[in-house]
Amino acid sequence: MKQLNENIRPIIAILTVIFTFAYFFTAAFIKEVKDPQITIAVIGMNTIVFAFYMGSSQGSVNRQTTIEALQKKIDDKNI
């Protein structure tokens, strides 16, 4: 279960990127919709994904992981 929790964020990020580009190519080339909102949606969704991994949210995840590891060491010593 822990391995799933560690891998769920990257999986969701990869799926978000794949689906936004699939949406973009479907709308732009198959349906030939010439709407600038499509490009904005693709850029926006991908920016959110990359901002998480490059920004402060990833730092928060790393901090929480460190706190949990330290707490586990403390709990192991007290047993």
- What is the domain extent for residue 23? 2-78
Render pLDDT for 11-40 as a digit per residue (tens, 0 to 9).
877 887 788 778 777 777 776 666 777 778
User: What does the chain look like in DSSP terms, one character per residue?
Assistant: -HHHHHHHHHHHHHHHHHHHHHHHHIIIIIS----HHHHHHHHHHHHHHHHHHHSHHHHHHHHHHHHHHHHHHHHHHH-
- State residue 2's pLDDT score: 65
Render pLDDT for 43-65 as a digit per residue (tens, 0 to 9).
787 788 777 766 666 677 788 88
- State residue 20's pLDDT score: 78
Q: How many domains, the chain? A: 1
Model-wide pTM > 0.75? no
